[in-house]
Structure formats: structure tokens, C-alpha cells
Amino acid sequence: MFQLIVYGDRKDHEITESLLNLLQQYYHIHLFEDHALFSVGEGPSISLFDISELQECRVKNGILIMKKNSRTNHLGDLSGLPQILISSENTRAIRAFAKRQIPIYTCGFGTKDDITFSSRSTGNTVVSLQREILLGKKVIEPGEIPCEIHRPLDDYTILTCSIIWMLLKETEEEGIFPDKIFFS
């Protein structure tokens, strides 16, 4: 089972809500929040955790998504975590992960970012994966995904949700994902 771990401020649920809206039509999602637990959707199972503290993480098939401006002071042993998505603006956390030698992928507007926008206009965006990402034993090649956005969302939320979509689309064998993301 694939596991998405959204970490940071417990009051910020934009990434979790956006992932839930995008994925529940393709997956049976088990959502675990700090004080709640529920399941929605149909299809293959996926776990979605929205947490503000993490003392230890040992998962074989998962990604930690750092909420924008999240701190690392409530993170414990992450040695068992395959990879981390993080805003390139969160330089303090990036340095902390580098010291721990944990693989990270950055989202932002810089030329060094792994995930960025290749074009943007009102209501339409194209998100670009600039470098390959290793997900378990599968290599996800660079590529782009167009997005239609029908509600106000933070740029970082669009980038993180889009890359999760691309990763799941590449690993899904049934081809159930459309070639465009709709944020509604």
C-alpha cells in the first residue's frame, strides 16, 4: 500500500484536502489525521496521514510531504523513508535533511527545483518534473502534466499534488488516470 504523509502545522489542511479530492475517485483512501480517522473512495488502497509530529518513520513505499514552512524539530528518525517533497523556500529544513542524508525533491520556481511550473495562466497551469525521481525501484522520468484550477490554491499545493499525481499515474498499471489534473 502506498503511503502519503503530509507533515506540518495541524491547522493547515490544504494539501491533504486537495489530495483527497483528487485521488478519492481512483483510490480507497484511508485518512489519518491528528484526531480523526476515516475511509473514502473506491479502488486500490492508499494511506494518507496528516500529522504534526513524527517520532519515527519506517515505510517502504511512501513519501513525506512537508507543508509549506514546516519545521523539522518534531521529526524523529526518518531513516526508513524513501523520499521527501519540500518547498525550496524552506532552506532550514532542507539543510536539516541534508545533514541526515535523506533524499529530498524540491518544489518551487528556481532552476534547481525538481518540480516547477513550465507555464501558468489564470485557471490553467502546466507542472513540470525537471529531473527523474526514484520511487521504490521505479524511475519516474521528467515530464509535464497540465492542470485546470477552479478554486484558489497555494502554488506549493498545486506543485506537490501534481507530482503525487504524476508518480501515482506512472506506477498505476491499469491506466486509470486522465492526462490532465482538475483542481475543483
Reported as a single tens digit per residue, the pLDDT across 56-75 is 777 778 888 999 888 887 77
Q: Which amino acid is at 165?
A: W
Provide DSSP, 136-183. TTEEEPPEEEEEEE-S---HHHHHHHHHHHHHHHHH-SS--S-SSEEE
pLDDT at 176: 66
pLDDT at 66: 93
Reported as a single tens digit per residue, the pLDDT across 134-153 is 776 778 889 999 999 999 99
pLDDT at 67: 93
Instruction: Report helix, strand or coil for 28.
Output: strand
CA neighbours within 13 Å on the CB side: how many for 47? Answer: 15
Q: Is the whole-model pTM more than 0.85?
A: yes
Distance CA 60, CA 81 (A): 7
Domains and CATH numbers, the chain: 2-183 (3.40.1190)
